[in-house]
């Protein structure tokens, strides 16, 4: 007689919930349509175009590993994209036996159009939600992704150093990219960061102002600035922790470094401006001893936000 295993009612219910969500989400994003986002491209073609746009060049083997596609299917799709002058092939400079793939100028234009359509589609999806609901949706997605596919093991250490040539450009670029990716902020935020950073360089007073860069394996991974607001008040600005450095205590270390410097420089208090949706940063400030003293709704960087002023007495 064959033994039978009793079904787990809870598991069966969870399986049904996941399948139901999968159907809902693919329909919501239009993934099951013949062409993605009403573009000329199928989902798989769009995935290939997107991946190639992230690199100067790569190989078909790279794409198979990254996208999890069948090698034969990928080869046929690449041939079709090449016929449409989206993808170009060329021998590798390092090894002439290897063929590298890259987007053509027409391919990069196609990517820009796809990227814009995707962003507008998601913006439309989220714009009907209030700030808290949007944060809840994004946090839930992050939880799903990190639970089903945990991030690669993080580095174990970092160092803090003073800024040097090239760092200010990195701060501006990384702020613009990360906040666009994670919160949908437009390029006006990058412009603001550029203005703040340029003003810091132009009026830099090393006795009362400073920029620290967190570094991992010789590469920038975080930043923070302390600038003079008045003789008695310092302002903390541009705290950033790159994705690869999160969970290591980088934000806390940068903030504590600012506080120590402000005390030594003779300031009586530190102020900062942040947004209510920046939950991780707000937690760092609160644990460091800052207190929220003001909040105000505003529309900036292409989105509705709640700005907050925080202060710390030294």
> Is residue 236 assigned to a domain?
yes
For 239-253, write each residue's pLDDT tens digit.
999 988 888 889 999
3-state percent breakdown (helix, strand, coil) of the chain, nearest 5: 50, 20, 30
Per-residue confidence (pLDDT) for residue 191, from 0 to 100? 96
> Is residue 217 assigned to a domain?
yes
Domain boundary among 93, 121, 149: 121
Domain of 264, CATH number, reads: 3.40.630.30
Whether 71 and 216 share a structural domain: no
Whether 210 and 289 share a structural domain: yes
CA distance 99 to 118: 30
> Is residue 305 assigned to a domain?
yes
> Is residue 224 assigned to a domain?
yes
CA distance 206 to 229: 14
For 64-92, write each residue's pLDDT tens digit.
888 887 888 888 988 999 999 999 988 87
> Is residue 151 assigned to a domain?
no
Do residues 83 and 60 touch, judged by C-beta distance below 8 A? Answer: no
> Is residue 271 assigned to a domain?
yes
Per-residue confidence (pLDDT) for residue 33, from 0 to 100? 59
Domain boundary among 121, 151, 186: 121
> Is residue 144 assigned to a domain?
no
Domain of 53, CATH number, reads: 1.10.10.10
Per-residue confidence (pLDDT) for residue 37, from 0 to 100? 60
Whether 176 and 299 share a structural domain: yes
> Is residue 197 assigned to a domain?
yes
Whether 52 and 169 share a structural domain: no
Whether 202 and 86 share a structural domain: no
Domain boundary among 102, 121, 140: 121
Whether 230 and 306 share a structural domain: yes
Please give the helix or strand (H or E) that residue 307 lies within, else none.
strand 303-313
Whether 88 and 188 share a structural domain: no
Whether 214 and 277 share a structural domain: yes
Whether 46 and 183 share a structural domain: no
Phi, psi (rounded to 5 degrees) for 94: -75, -35
Do residues 271 and 229 touch, judged by C-beta distance below 8 A? Answer: yes
Number of independent structural domains in the chain: 2
Whether 109 and 173 share a structural domain: no
Do residues 39 and 114 touch, judged by C-beta distance below 8 A? Answer: yes
Whether 224 and 291 share a structural domain: yes
- Below-70 pLDDT ranges, the chain: 1-7, 28-38, 94-95, 151-156
Whether 111 and 191 share a structural domain: no
Question: Domain range holding 53?
Answer: 11-121
């Amino acid at each position: 007689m064959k033994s039978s295993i009793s079904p787990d009612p809870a598991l069966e219910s969870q399986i049904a919930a996941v399948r139901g969500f999968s159907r809902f989400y693919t329909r919501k994003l239009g993934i099951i349509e013949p062409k993605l986002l009403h573009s000329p491209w199928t989902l798989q073609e769009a995935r290939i175009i997107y991946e190639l746009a992230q690199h100067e060049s790569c190989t078909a083997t790279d794409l198979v590993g990254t996208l999890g596609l069948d090698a034969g299917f990928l080869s046929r799709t690449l041939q079709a994209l090449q016929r449409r002058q989206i993808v170009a092939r060329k021998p590798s400079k390092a090894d002439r036996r290897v063929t590298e793939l890259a987007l053509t100028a027409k391919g990069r234009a196609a990517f820009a159009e796809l990227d814009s359509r995707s962003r507008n589609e998601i913006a439309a999806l989220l714009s009907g939600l209030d700030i808290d609901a949007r944060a809840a949706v994004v946090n839930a997605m992050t939880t799903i992704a990190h639970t089903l596919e945990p991030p690669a093991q993080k580095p174990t250490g970092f160092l803090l150093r003073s800024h040097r040539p090239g760092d200010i450009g990195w701060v501006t670029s990384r702020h613009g990219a990360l906040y666009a990716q994670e919160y949908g902020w437009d390029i006006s935020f990058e412009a603001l960061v550029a203005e703040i950073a340029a003003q810091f360089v132009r009026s830099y007073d090393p006795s009362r102002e400073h920029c620290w860069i967190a570094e991992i394996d010789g590469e920038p991974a975080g930043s923070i600035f302390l600038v003079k607001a008045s003789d008695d008040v310092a302002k903390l600005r541009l705290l950033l922790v790159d994705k690869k450095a999160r969970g290591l205590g980088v934000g806390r270390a940068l903030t504590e470094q600012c506080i120590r410097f402000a005390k030594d420089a003779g300031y009586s208090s530190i102020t900062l401006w942040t947004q209510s949706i920046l939950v991780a940063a707000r937690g760092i400030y609160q644990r460091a001893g800052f207190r929220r003293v003001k909040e105000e709704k505003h529309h900036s960087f292409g989105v509705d936000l709640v700005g907050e002023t925080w202060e710390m007495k030294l």
